[in-house]
Amino acid sequence: MSVKYQHITEALAQLEEEALVQALKDAVEAGPSAEEAQDIVNACTMGMERVGDLFEEGEYFVGDLIYAADILKGGMELLAPCIGAGGVSKIGKLVIGSAPGDLHDIGKNIFIAMMEAAGFEVHDLGIDVAPDKFVEKVKEVQPDIVGISGLLTLSLDTMGDVINALKQAGLRDGVKVMIGGNPVSEAVQKRVGADAHSTNAATGVKQCKEWVVA
């Protein structure tokens, strides 16, 4: 990464909103080239990655992730004018939704913010997403990863319905499936036939990155 924008990474990692906003404003005012704009985005990505690491180390908590996502969102808005029509380069594609029957999305939204920050193209299907909606979207965008999120224990059954629908449509082998949320566990992962599970956004993102790099 470019050393030039290291202070941007640092400000985001330390959750210093004012410093981040100032640094981004300065960077935008300097009229960066397309390549430099990509470097600035990468600096933000690395900052968010640091936030994820600090979360895993027990230094940051979920409230910090939410705040980090919030200040990054503001930061990306500042950067928008510098990013050309082609956008920034993506490392992979995710289709995600809350499990059928589950109306909750706070955790899913934190995960999405962190996945976008990590460079994924995200297709969010919203809450209470029926299995055929997942199938339809997977056919359309051909993602690397399908994420099924759930807060309630009822979603532990319907996550399996989504995976079965993917199987029946002949799409299961083409994607990795991650289930996420407070009630998921290794036992549930096995039962529903997912590839991974995560009870927090940070480790979920890490797993997804491993998948697309491998």
Contacts 24+ apart (CB under 8 A), 10-16: 10/47, 11/47, 12/44, 12/47, 12/48, 12/50, 12/51, 12/68, 12/71, 12/72, 12/75, 13/47, 13/50, 13/51, 13/54, 15/51, 15/64, 15/67, 15/68, 15/71
Catalytic entry in 105, 155, 161, 197: 155
Catalytic entry in 39, 98, 102, 123: 102
Contacts with other proteins, residue ranges (CB under 8 A): 15, 17, 58-64, 66-67, 70, 101-104, 106, 128, 152-154, 156-157, 183, 185, 187-188, 191
Is there a catalytic annotation at residue 104? yes
Is there a catalytic annotation at residue 161? no
Minimum CB distance to other proteins smaller for 59 or for 140: 59
Minimum CB distance to other proteins smaller for 27 or for 54: 54
CA 69 to chain centre: 10
User: Which amino acid appears at position 77 of this protein?
Assistant: E
CB of 59 to other proteins, least distance (A): 7
Q: How far apart are CA 158 and CA 142, in angstroms?
A: 22
Is there a catalytic annotation at residue 197? no
CB of 17 to other proteins, least distance (A): 7
Minimum CB distance to other proteins smaller for 136 or for 157: 157
CB of 65 to other proteins, least distance (A): 9
Minimum CB distance to other proteins smaller for 92 or for 181: 181
Q: How far apart are CA 78 and CA 127, in angstroms?
A: 29
Annotated catalytic sites, by residue? 102, 104, 155
